Homo-oligomer: A and B are copies of this chain.
């Protein structure tokens, strides 16, 4: 009952509060992202997350209330990153440069935050109950905007004639596959985690493929 005061403040703004609260909330969020990515929402247990965070289970409930609230907090943290990185796609920009930078940024994201990508992927495969508002509002608006830019490029003959929306689907798929289906890639390439050089090679392959697919050349 009297605990409601704490819980409410945590739910409204998880980043607020004193040093201790902020530090522990971050600790829990980080552990939760890892465990949710590895096991999915249902497969992950609060006890497992607590162990990963090095805290007793009751502590997680103190900060986040319920498992679902913790999951939403993890997703909210990720979504901002997920929608970003399209700022280079403008009517004035050079198509090859802008698309190349976008692909590289996406590949970097898959490299540096694979767990974040996996959480999103998992959520999309299953109902995406919580993600739907973001998909239908923010993401759709973003794609509408950037598609208009690409259509201008097409009309100006600066890029091959294609459906911009399906181009985005392909770009997301090609880049995020290096995070989501990492295991498949490792198995085919024959072994452990990709080295920096291997990942750089992968990035350049995707960039080159995309630019050619858009009727562009890396140089010029």
Measured CB to CB, the residues of A under 8 A from B are 37-43, 118, 121-122, 124-128, 131-132, 135-136, 139-140, 143, 160, 162-163, 165-170, 172-174, 176-178, 180-181, 183-185, 187-190, 201-202, 205-206, 208-210, 212-215
Measured in the bound complex, the distance between the Cα atoms of B45 and A42 in whole Å is 11
Q: Write out the residue numbers on chain B whose beta carbons fall within 8 Å of the beta carbon of A170.
A: 173-174, 177, 206, 209
Interface residues of A, dominant DSSP: helix
Asked if A173 contacts B181 (CB within 8 A), the reply is yes
Asked if A122 contacts B124 (CB within 8 A), the reply is no
Measured in the bound complex, the distance between the Cα atoms of B172 and A173 in whole Å is 9
> Which chain B residue has the least Cβ–Cβ distance from A40?
B40
Q: Write out the residue numbers on chain B whose beta carbons fall within 8 Å of the beta carbon of A41.
A: 43
Q: Write out the residue numbers on chain B whose beta carbons fall within 8 Å of the beta carbon of A37.
A: 125
Q: What's the least CB distance linking A212 to chain B, in Å?
A: 5
Measured in the bound complex, the distance between the Cα atoms of B173 and A38 in whole Å is 20
The 5 closest A-B CB pairs, nearest first, are A42-B43, A135-B187, A213-B213, A173-B177, A173-B173
Q: Write out the residue numbers on chain B whose beta carbons fall within 8 Å of the beta carbon of A206.
A: 166, 170
Whether A39 touches B181, Cβ cut-off 8 Å, given contacts A135-B187, A136-B187, is no
Q: Write out the residue numbers on chain B whose beta carbons fall within 8 Å of the beta carbon of A125.
A: 37, 40, 118, 121-122, 125, 180-181
Asked if B180 contacts A143 (CB within 8 A), the reply is no
Q: Write out the residue numbers on chain B whose beta carbons fall within 8 Å of the beta carbon of A43.
A: 40-43, 126
Q: What's the least CB distance linking A147 to chain B, in Å?
A: 9
Q: What's the least CB distance linking A51 to chain B, in Å?
A: 17
Contacts beyond the supplied A122-B125, A125-B180: 18 A-B pairs with Cβ under 8 Å: A37-B125, A40-B122, A41-B43, A42-B43, A43-B43, A118-B125, A121-B121, A121-B125, A121-B181, A124-B181, A124-B183, A135-B184, A139-B187, A166-B205, A166-B206, A170-B173, A212-B213, A212-B214
